[in-house]
Amino acid sequence: MKKTKSMNQMGEQTRPIFPFTAIVGQEEMKLALLLNVIDPKIGGVMIMGDRGTGKSTTVRALVDLLPNIQVVANDPFNSDPEDPELMSQEVREKKALNQPLEIINRKITMVDLPLGATEDRVCGTIDIERALTDGVKAFEPGLLARANRGILYVDEVNLLDDHLVDVLLDSAASGWNTVEREGISISHPARFILVGSGNPEEGELRPQLLDRFGMHAQIGTVKDASSRVHIVQQRASFDQSPFEFRETYADSQQELRGKILAARDCLPTVEIDYESRVKISQICSELNVDGLRGDIVTNRASQAIAAFENRTRVTPHDIFRVIPLCLRHRLRKDPLEGIDSGEKVRETFQRVFNFNGNLEEE
């Protein structure tokens, strides 16, 4: 029989987090992050923008909106007590033997990947000496284990070694991490939302790696003087009295949290008609997008935004809003090229969907 108890704020940040709903502007980045939370199978988001534009602040603010999840107590992989695909080997064995599992409620966590992290630190390592002497698979979990069922945030991802980025993307795509040392192999679930950020002045990722991020958000420095003043005032108010500032946004935070939960429940019922699917694939073909990731992500993101707005049918307007985020980073074939702003994608969308005016929601 299962024993369940509530974890008292365990795993939460020790310092107050800037409220997501208090962030001014950067709508493209906020939308991409919210859609990935609603449907993690979108495949994560790459955020590129100038220094000081709130990339890290926004990602950390997102975590504050996420719901609690049930996990098996004292399990380093945040194992789901019901889903075998999200369980460690030890938990699966206990389930098979009908042994009791202690279950706790924990906030979905965000794991930061340090820029200088080694592959062992990320993937985990096997204690070969203990394995040989004691005959056990002594595994020291890495950051991918902690990130299971959460968010893995990589700041300055464009400065990481390409091999390490490839490891992260492989795990994010498959949902599993496998560590092999001296003929010993250990696998564990590693299903997480991968969020990367970086400054384009410091270089872009190779097209082959960039393509594997579900969405790409571009953000820039706010130019409007009044908006800049508002942002500065918001930050000063938060720094002076963070708890009072958070209280001001408590209602809007709770409302957005409710919308996210409702959207996750609604998502399986959202439909996208066959004609729209064909047109999405036609756009991908005309833009010479390699593979089918662009088609899949655009379909998923369109359904997620419809669910977020509590609708069960995808409209062309939904597709129009998300398709630049899903395709713009898949157009670059030469590593020396810049990433399209999204205009080429929008122009192709307008032609394929026969739109030459204001796109009205159906």
- Report the catalytic residues: 293
Relative to beta strand 176-181, strand 184-189 is antiparallel
Whose tokens are 């709903």? That residue is 21
CA distance 220 to 57: 15
DSSP 43-100: --EEEEE-TTSSHHHHHHHHHTTPPEEEEETT-TT---SS-GGG--HHHHHHHHTT--
DSSP for 199-266, written as a single string? -GGG-PPPHHHHTTSSEEEEE-----HHHHHHHHHHHHHHHH-HHHHHHHTHHHHHHHHHHHHHHHHH
Which amino acid is it at 268? P
CB 345 within 8 A of CB 328: yes
Q: Quick one: how far is CA 112 from the chain centroid? A: 13
The answer to whether 61 and 17 have CB atoms below 8 angstroms apart is yes
Q: What is the 3-state secondary structure (H, E, C) of 88-155?
A: CHHHHHHHHCCCCCEEEEEECCEEECCCCCCHHHHHEEECHHHHHHHCCCCEEECHHHHHCCCEEEEE
**Among the listed residues 46, 52, 51, the one whose alpha carbon sits nearest the alpha carbon of residue 28:** 46
